[in-house]
Amino acid sequence: MKHLLVTGGCGFIGSNFVRYWLGQHPESRVVVYDKLTYAGRRENLADLWDSPNLSLVVGDIGDLELVGRTCQNHQIDLIVNFAAETHVDQSILGPLVFTDTNVRGTHVLLEVARELNIRLHHISTDEVYGHIADEHQSLETDNLAPRSPYAASKAAADQLVQAYAITYGLPVTITRGANNVGPYQYPEKAVPLFATNAILGEAIPVYGDGLQMRDYAHVHDHCTGIEAVLLRGVVGEVYNVGTGKEMTNLEMVDIVLDTLGQSHDLVRHVTDRPGHDRRYSMNVDKLRALGWQPKYDPKQAVAEAAKWYAQNRAWWEPIRSGEFRAYYEQQYAERLAKT
Ligand code: NAD
Ligand code: TYD
């Protein structure tokens, strides 16, 4: 595992992983392969592009020829697949690209890995389990029951990866991550949206009653979890990565507002997301058995993330004042007007 192809390495979790991995494994070489969609930003790795150990190939994971040539040119021995369309609300507005990237794109990576006999680690999500009943915590062996176009595309990819292990004996591993928070998360997702709105003194749009439950895990702990699986995990296996704890969205909003010293009067309950999953929660004992444990509990993770947005306005202000505006209007103008 000296020559890594990190797909989606300019996105939120991918860029955190690249920074973490190169810090821990300076002998490695990393090629980031990224289409640079709205969510993929070169500046997420601005401090590292001069490193001789890091390079960027701009391309689509659905491009079989370019993925294959890149893997051959760089003698890749491990593909870590973060590349995806990732936002549930965007998948409700425009679902087809989710199938193109998340399903077909992952399938192309599997074909290249099969052809060149490369290990592949796939980043999946707790959303593949669907929303789950109180008290249950999803186990890796649970059936997948996705309920949004995003989750369905991720479940299809997850199952294709497992099918390649069974059918072709491809050396694969999968991690299913909880909701991540931390530096460089695009402000369409709840925690960075709420933090940046709070800093700007704008309304905080909480869907429905705000009692949905999520495990807000710090992205650092996701990176260490992936590392644990890459170094010590059993090939062919799936591992959940989260804290195993959860909170309601209203509790998350309270932490964001208190951390930033902003008024709770900013909260607005708006029309709910269609098919909104009520609760995600995963059992993470299998990953813990590899010697991994999270550094942050969800409360600390959300507070740390909110602080990062207060301290890094230069990163998000250009995003919020640019292309993001049109999406924000489409998603929230009518909802907020009704409150
Ligand atoms: P992100 O949206 O911030 O980044 C996605 C990256 O993939 C971007 O750099 C984008 O340019 C790139 N990309 C998109 N389509 C591509 C394509 N066709 N070819 C090449 N690159 C492409 O996403 P994220 O939050 O960092 O999520 C990374 C992975 O982790 C995804 O697979 C996601 O499903 C999974 N995941 C995310 C979370 C979360 O809370 N954010 C939780 C669990 C799992
Ligand atoms: P999000 O960050 O989109 O992640 P996911 O839907 O994949 O879990 O949303 C986290 C939670 O916050 C989820 O229950 C939906 C809710 N939410 C809101 O209440 N308002 C918002 O504007 C957004 C984006 C999310």
What was the pLDDT predicted at 233? 98
**Alpha-helical regions (H) of the chain:** 12-24, 64-73, 88-93, 96-98, 106-116, 149-168, 190-200, 219-232, 249-260, 285-288, 298-311, 313-321, 324-328, 334-337
Query: What's the confidence (pLDDT) of residue 323?
Result: 83
Which residue among the candidates 89, 126, 140, 251 is catalytic per the annotation?
126
Name 318's Cβ contacts closer than 8 Å, sequence gap at least 6: none
Q: What is the pLDDT of residue 322?
A: 86
Enumerate the domain spans of the chain: 3-181+218-241, 190-214+246-277+297-337
Pocket test for ligand 1, best of 13, 64, 150 (most atoms within 8 A of CB): 13
User: Given 34, 89, 140, 150, which residue is catalytic?
Assistant: 150
The answer to whether 248 and 213 are in contact (CB under 8 A) is yes
Q: How far is the CA of 212 from the centre of ligand 2 (A)?
A: 9
Of ligand 1's listed atoms, the one at least distance from the Cα of 126 is 43
Residue 127 designated active-site? yes
**Is 43 a residue of the active site?**
no
* Residue in 251, 256, 245, 250 with CA at minimum distance from that of residue 192: 256
Helix (H) or strand (E) holding 238: strand 238-241
List the structure tokens of 296.
Answer: 């942050």
Q: CA 251 to CA 277: how far, in whole Å?
A: 17
Taking CB atoms and a 6 Å cutoff, what residues make up the pocket around ligand 1? 7-8, 10-14, 34-37, 39-40, 60-62, 82-86, 101, 105, 123, 125, 154, 177, 179-180, 186
Q: Which of 189, 320, 331 to mutate to test the pocket of ligand 2 (most atoms within 8 A of CB)?
A: 189
Q: What is the dihedral of CA 31, 89, 147, 102, to 10 degrees?
A: -20
Q: Which CATH class is domain 3-181+218-241?
A: alpha beta
pLDDT of residue 289: 98
Distances (CA, A) of 144 to 128, 138, 216, 232, 334: 5, 10, 21, 25, 34
Give 190 Cα–ligand 2 centroid separation in angstroms: 5
Same fold, 3-181+218-241 and 190-214+246-277+297-337: no
Which ligand 2 atom sits nearest the alpha carbon of residue 206?
Answer: 19
Q: What tens digit of pLDDT does each residue of 17-35 get?
A: 999 999 999 999 999 999 9
CA separation for the pair 320, 326 (Å, rounded): 10
Task: Write phi, then psi, for 65 (nearest 5 degrees).
Answer: -65, -45
Predicted local confidence at residue 41, as pLDDT: 98
Tokens 């709910």 found at: 272
Of the listed ligands, the closest to the CA of 13 is 1
Of the candidates 41, 77, 82, 81, which has an alpha carbon nearest to the alpha carbon of residue 58? Answer: 41
Residue indicated by tokens 């294959």 = 68
Model confidence pLDDT, tens digit, residues 236-292: 999 999 999 999 999 999 999 999 999 999 999 999 999 999 999 999 999 999 999
Distance 7 CA to ligand 1 centre (A): 9
Residue type, 258: D
pLDDT at 263: 97
Residue 310 near residue 199 (C-beta atoms within 8 A)? yes
The amino acid at 48:
L
Instruction: Count Cβ atoms within 10 A of the Cβ of residue 327 and give its class: 0-12 exposed, 13-18 middle, 19 or more buried.
Output: middle
As a whole number of Å, the end-to-end CA separation of the chain is 53
Positions in the chain short of pLDDT 70? none
Residue 329, both tokens: 């209007």
CATH superfamily of 190-214+246-277+297-337: UDP-galactose 4-epimerase, domain 1 (3.90.25.10)
Q: How far does residue 12's CA lie from ligand 1's centre (Å)?
A: 7
Residue 150 appears among annotated catalytic residues = yes
Strand partners, 58: 34
| Residues in contact with 187: Cβ distance below 8 Å, sequence separation at least 6, in sequence order | 193, 195, 196, 309, 316, 319, 320, 324
